[in-house]
Every structure is written in C-alpha cells, then in structure tokens.
Amino acid sequence: MEKVAENVEIAVLGGVGFNSYLEFESQPIPTPYGEVIAYLTTIRGKRVAVIPRHAGENHVPPHRINYRANVWAVQAIGAKRIISTNSLGSMRGHKVGSFVVLDDFIDFTRNRPSTFYDDRTVHVDVSEPYCPEIRTALKGALEKQGLSYTEGIYACTEGPRFETRAEIRMMSQFADVVGMTGVPEVVLAKERSLCYASLAIITNQACGMTTQKLTADEVTEVVGKAQDAIFEIISDTVENLPEIQSCRCRFAKEGACL
C-alpha cells in the first residue's frame, strides 16, 4: 500500500466536539472507499495524524460515518496505532466528564459496512479488541493528570437516535457505557492488523438513568470543556507508547481467512 504521508506513527480518530486538529496541516488521503482528510502534526516528537469522524460539509451522523475509509487511511499514511476518542452515556452512574478506558464491546449496530472482506470470509480475532499497550499508556496518562477513570464494556448502537429506556435496561445487564461510533471501527482496525484503543468521556447519563431529557448539546458541551485535558492525555499517551510493539494486535488476522 502506497504511503501518502511521511513518518506518521499514530492516528487519532476524533469524535464529537474534538476540534484540537483545526490548526494542523491537512492532507487528503485517497482510499478505495472515498477520500479522507487527515490533519498532520508532531506531538512529543512523534508524527501524528488526526482524522475527525464527523467532519464534512455537514456534521456526519454516526450511522453514516465512512469507517472503512477512515481505517484504510490510517494504514495508508503508515500509522500502526490508533487512539480513538468517544463520547459515551453511562449506564453505571459514572460522573459526567470522567473517563473510561474500554476493555470490551458488544455490537448492537445493524446497517453499517462492518468488514473490508465482502468477497471472502475472514473471521478476525477480537478476543482482545483494545490494544493492551495503548490501554496501559492511556491509564498512565490519566493517572499522571490526576483524572478519574474506570474500565468497562462498551455497547455500540446504530443511532442516530438516543436509546430508549427499555434498551438501556437491557444493555445495562451486559455493558457499562453506551455510544454510537466505536463499532465497526475497532473491528476494521483488527482486520488491518492495527493497534486500537479508546479514550472515552462520559457526556451524559443514559436514558432512564435520570429524569432529564437527553440532548446532543450536552454532549458537545462536555467534550468542549474537556478539550485541553483530552489533548494532554493523548499527548502523554503518544509519548509513553513503547517504540517497539510487543502486543498481539498485528496477528489478529492470522488463521482467520477461509
């Protein structure tokens, strides 16, 4: 695969309200699934590309994000690691503004292209969906900043509507937090043998957990207030990642193809 940018080591897939990339150098990345705009910068001596999920002429809703193009673009620019940022609703009463380092997921999406392999069978391994090396670096960065965080299971829904009270009651039996953008992104990263982990921020209590109405405004407001903290966490994570990968993420597709 031809690399279209030089020496990029890490990609950041940014979610709602994550606008820290706006002053970076932009570069179009062609992919078989459409063009992606990457924003290039240097963080703590390492080349980093930020790819905003929702960027476009209009805000791209979760179910219409071109996940395959974004993940393909990460590999096209030579990056081997992805740090994802996600906005989540809590089903466990987490404090709004606190962070979650995801350790597993449940997929409730329905209509999204979820694989690069439509013409063959590839049973990619997701027994460890989130890279342990990136997760360790994220937790270290959060602790350095003195920020509250937990670990937990993520339920991904189709969107773009918020979930119903009944859906939350059902999902809360199996998962801790809920969102709309983490899947199929994590699976596609596995199919490309990339390391992937998520820094998630709690932006609201899930439907039925409080008596308040859920709004999109509160999501962007919480993430907007946390912009500086998120950037510092990512910067510390980038700095502390080991130079040589010793995780098994790059082997996720071994023995998967029929």
Domains, the chain, with CATH or none: 8-251 (3.40.50.1580)
Tell me what percent of the residues of the chain surpass a pLDDT of 90. 77
pLDDT at 19: 64
pLDDT at 210: 76
Task: Tell me the CA end-to-end span of the chain in Å, nearest whole number.
Answer: 23
Tokens 């080991």 belong to which residue? 242
Q: Are 170 and 91 in contact (CB under 8 A)?
A: no
pLDDT higher than 90, residue 185: yes
Alpha-carbon distance of 152 to 33, in angstroms, equals 32
Mean pLDDT check: name the lowest of 66-70, 166-170, 219-223.
219-223
pLDDT at 206: 92
pLDDT per position as a tens digit, 156-179: 999 999 999 999 999 999 999 999
**Top-confidence residue, 23 or 63:** 63
Tokens 């905003």 belong to which residue? 52
pLDDT at 220: 79
Q: Where are the beta strands (DSSP E) in the chain?
A: 8-14, 25-29, 36-43, 46-52, 81-90, 99-108, 149-157, 177-179, 195-205
Mean pLDDT over residues 80-96, rounded? 95
Identify the band that residue 221 occupies on the pLDDT scale cut at 50, 70 and 90. confident
Mean pLDDT over residues 191-197, rounded? 97
